[in-house]
Amino acid sequence: MEALARLRNCPMSARKMRLVVDNIRGKSVDDALNILKFTNKEAAMWLEKLVLSAVSNWAAKSDQSSPEEFRLYIKTAFVDGGSVLKRFRPAPHGRANRIRKRMNHVTIVVENKVKLEA
């Protein structure tokens, strides 16, 4: 059984978020949380909350009290670009430079390796 968690409109560029998502893709949930805890990037904070949310969604969906014994792992993790806030900054000689404040959407799917007993 798999469970999904999405983070929408995270105020960070997708390129910066992908650097951290690539580190946890395919890892077990415990390993991923350890990696995120000791990663010194802002994206790690957002992703740690998202992985915990995905585990909580899995527990609610499968009616299991302890997800640790089912060996959850991150099956799919990807980052898509989101909307862009466009701002202008004054430049010399009466010109204006465009500033793009990028956002992203992150999707994480967790699945268990040990079969659920029906």
Please list, residue by residue across 46-77, b when 16 or more beta carbons sit within 10 angstroms of its beta carbon and e when fewer do: bbbebbebbbebbbeeeebeebeebebbbbeb
Q: Which one is predicted more confidently, 62 or 17?
A: 17
β-sheet bridge partners, residue 107: 6, 78
pLDDT digits (tens, 9 = 90+) for 35-52: 999 999 999 999 999 999
Question: What integer pLDDT is reported at residue 66 of this predicted model?
Answer: 78
* % of the chain at pLDDT higher than 90: 86
**CATH 3.90.470.10 assigned to 2-112:** yes
pLDDT digits (tens, 9 = 90+) for 67-86: 888 899 999 999 999 999 99
Q: Where are the domains of the chain?
A: 2-112
Total H helices, total E strands in the chain: 3, 3
The model's pTM is 0.91
